[in-house]
Amino acid sequence: FDGEKITDLLTAEKARGMKGDEINAWRNAMEAANYTFEHNGRKWDYGKSTQTRLEPSVAAAKAGKLPEAFFWTDAENNDVPVTAEELIALSEAAGQAMFTKGMEIHVRQRTMKKELEKLTSADEILAYRVGWAQE
């Protein structure tokens, strides 16, 4: 403060660090989010929380210990009877969907960081919109 006006102390480097943190937070939120995919004519949830729920059931399926009349609930909240083989296939499909989404997220966050490096002023950097390109 020079007695009359506030002197802007935010450098481009500081702004870049702040925006980089925002990009990382976006990436973490996207990786933690739940999504849906289609498998065998139904919509199913996938994401880290789904993966955590699937793991013990898939272990039971692989050990031949699923209870009779076992079912998994689809993304539209329908209870769907599944065999051990179907549950394992669903888990594998969910894992592939999760990998694909993870790569999309990774590529987008790398692109944002490269775009950020090209900006030269704090104002430009602060105005940069973090998220999917079409958002």
Q: Over the stretch 72-122, which tens digit does the pLDDT of each residue have?
A: 999 999 999 999 999 999 999 999 999 999 999 999 999 999 999 999 999
Between 3 and 7, name the one with better pLDDT.
3
- The pLDDT score that the predictor gives to residue 76 is 98
- The pLDDT score that the predictor gives to residue 84 is 98
**pLDDT tens for each residue of 35-66:** 999 999 999 999 999 999 999 999 999 999 99
- The pLDDT score that the predictor gives to residue 9 is 79
Query: Does the pLDDT of residue 1 top 70, yes or no?
Result: no
Query: Does the pLDDT of residue 5 top 60, yes or no?
Result: no
Here the tokens at position 105 are 């997220």
- The pLDDT score that the predictor gives to residue 8 is 66
Question: What's the whole-model pTM score?
Answer: 0.84
Q: Give strand ranges (E) for 9-68.
A: 35-39, 42-46
Phi, psi angles (nearest 5°) of residue 134: -85, -5
Looking at residue 118, its amino acid is K
Please report, for the chain, the start and end positions of each structural domain, with discontinuous segments joined by +.
Answer: 12-127
- The pLDDT score that the predictor gives to residue 113 is 98
CATH class of 12-127: mainly alpha
- The pLDDT score that the predictor gives to residue 93 is 98
